[in-house]
Amino acid sequence: MVLRVLNIEYSDELLLIHFILEKIHKDITGRINAIKTGPPIILFHENFAPKLIEYTKELKNVFYNSKQRIEVLNKFVVLAFSISGNGYYLSQKGMINIFSDKKQLKIK
């Protein structure tokens, strides 16, 4: 469906958004499937789902603002990275902590 939309209204930014969100969807689905197959080594943080919902609402609200949209997409990427092997390790070490109000994700 998205590819048909791109055929009608193509833009590099729309393609980037689709690519990022599709990758994140695959990462989340992959982690869920891995959990189903055996004892999980990498777990979802208890606030993963609320953050996913929060970022989805943020993206909806800033969709037409290019700079803010990129900032929200970056939050999605960090959220998905938190369920990868290396991302989970860095989260456990406290180097990535998007689930804490103390340390917010900042764009440099």
pLDDT at 38: 87
Structure tokens at 12: 């590099």
pLDDT at 101: 58
pLDDT at 41: 87
Question: Which of 9-13, 81-85, 86-90, 99-103 is least confident?
Answer: 99-103
Taking a C-beta distance cutoff of 8 angstroms, is the pair 63, 14 a contact? no
Q: Which helix (H) or strand (E) holds 45?
A: none
Taking a C-beta distance cutoff of 8 angstroms, is the pair 82, 96 a contact? yes
Residue 108 pLDDT greater than 60, yes or no: no
Residue 71 pLDDT greater than 50, yes or no: yes
Residue 54 pLDDT greater than 90, yes or no: yes
Residue 77 pLDDT greater than 50, yes or no: yes
pLDDT at 103: 46
- Of residues 107 and 2, the one with the higher pLDDT is 2
H-type helices in 38-96, by residue range?
48-62, 66-81, 85-92
